[in-house]
Structure 1
Amino acid sequence: MSRPVRVIVLNTDESFATPVRAHLLSIDSVKIVAEVEEPALLTTALEQFPAEVVFVHLDPDPEGLLQVAGLACRQRPELAVFALASAADGPLVLSAMRAGLREFLTKP
């Protein structure tokens, strides 16, 4: 059996924490190794918990969270950083890709 994909979730929206956690935990090959509510603590979480993927929920502060996510991309280029947001307007998606994020997902 292969090792599960280790995920760190950066989410500042408490109302979205339970649904995103439930969805990720429903996938057999995914293991959440850390949930970070404070963007400034993402770097610390990356140092403490080995992970292959970081999910960054961009709502409600896309600009600030993209800065933190972009820093993680530059510090750990092997890390897959995915953005998750309620809106997928062109400028936001372009900003995410320019920051180094690999995927942009919209909430259903």
Structure 2
Amino acid sequence: MPLVALPHRFKRTLPLLRSEARLMLVLTRNVGTSVLIEDVTFTIITLGNGVADASLRKAKSERPKVISLIRDETVEICYGVTVVLVRMTENSVRLGFEFPQDINITRSELLDD
């Protein structure tokens, strides 16, 4: 979408367009570490051969969905959240999450048990 210069009187209304705004979060995760996206747990389960496998689980009793991430490939995972594998080493991955402003993403180590 091209940028359009708005007349001065409309500039005060720009914060009302926040629903379209998206945020970016880049995290390094090791195997077994999780990120909570609202009520969905995203966990890195295996790394190898240029592929990172992750599980998505909405509830503890629910069977997880497993997805494979390849470098620079964007995958939509839930609630309008997309994830891209930015970099991978033998024991960790750097992931980029792009998400709507109204979605909460929390690293598992920050949650109370």
TM-score (normalizing by structure 1): 0.30
Larger Rg: 2
Which one has the bigger strand percentage?
2
Which one has the bigger helix percentage?
1
